[in-house]
Amino acid sequence: MNLEQVDILFDREEIMARVKELGREITNDYQGKNLLVVGILKGAFVFMADLVREIDLPLELDFMDVSSYGVSTVSSGEVRIIKDLDYSILEKDVLIIEDIVDTGLTLHYIKEILQKRGPRSIKICCLLDKPSRRRAAIAPEYIGFTIPDQFIVGYGLDYAEQYRHYPAVCVLKPSVYEK
Ligand code: IMP
Ligand code: MG
């Protein structure tokens, strides 16, 4: 990790402790259900990989990729499906895994699309929540950490496709993108 560009917000240990708690909660809540875990690419891939290994239940996985931001740090409000789910979600208890909920526009759109496909339920689990910037009525059922309005990278999150592999959740120093 290049510490001239980022400050560590949550390290690997803090993240894993919280992920284990979320896994236990989800394991309790989804007993006897038809759990389908849907990861939103690419940001959710690291969080999802850790989280599903803490869920002690039968489950299926699928992925969806949508575009929201381009390379800017500000939401355009425009969301487009780049990769749809491979399988039907009819009668499934869908748990959407997202890296971060910022304006909520992305998840609002995804939820609306998936709702029309006849799932038994849809809930949202995000690693990070930035409620101060919300523009759509989205309230995730499971939240790793609630954070103030800072730009985050690492543990799956990117800035211009960089930093996703950093093991910690980091704040990107404004000097990196304010040029
Ligand atoms: P929303 O539609 O504004 O809620 O944005 C959701 C998406 O924007 C997330 O899935 C991220 O890909 C991206 N995003 C929002 N905030 C950040 C951030 O602080 N760091 C990196 N990506 C972010
Ligand atoms: Mg992104």
Which ligand has the nearest atom to the CA of 76? 1
- 178 pLDDT band, cuts 50/70/90, is confident
pLDDT tens per residue across span 123-164: 999 999 999 999 999 999 999 999 999 999 999 999 999 999
The pLDDT, as a whole number, for residue 77 is 57
Which residue minimizes the CA distance to atom 5 of ligand 1?
A: 102
Which pLDDT value is given to residue 75? 57
**Residue to probe by mutation, ligand 1, list 40, 99, 111, most atoms within 8 Å of CB:** 99
DSSP H or E stretch at residue 112? helix 105-115
Ligand 1 atom nearest the C-alpha of 151 is 19
Cα 156 from Cα 117, distance rounded (Å):
28
CB 45 within 8 A of CB 65: no
In terms of DSSP H, where are the helices of 41-104?
45-52
Q: What positions carry a catalytic annotation?
A: 102
Q: What is the pLDDT of residue 32?
A: 97
Confidence (pLDDT) at 79: 76
Centre of ligand 2 from the C-alpha of residue 73, in Å: 9
Ligand nearest to the CA of 133: 1
Per-residue pLDDT of 55-106, as tens digits, reads 999 999 999 999 865 555 555 556 788 999 999 999 999 999 999 999 999 9
Pocket (CB within 6 angstroms of ligand 1): 43, 68-69, 75, 98-106, 151-153, 157
What is the model's pLDDT at position 163? 98
Torsion sign over Cα 72, 75, 77, 79: positive
Q: Which atom of ligand 1 is nearest to the CA of 101?
A: 4
Q: Tell me the pLDDT tens digit for each residue of 13-40.
A: 999 999 999 999 999 999 999 999 999 9
61-68 long-range Cβ contacts below 8 angstroms, 24+ apart = 61/36, 61/37, 62/36, 62/37, 62/38, 62/86, 62/87, 63/38, 63/39, 64/38, 64/39, 64/40, 64/110, 65/40, 65/41, 66/40, 66/106, 66/109, 66/110, 68/105, 68/106
In the reported structure, the alpha carbon of residue 62 is separated from the centroid of ligand 2 by a whole-number distance in angstroms of: 18
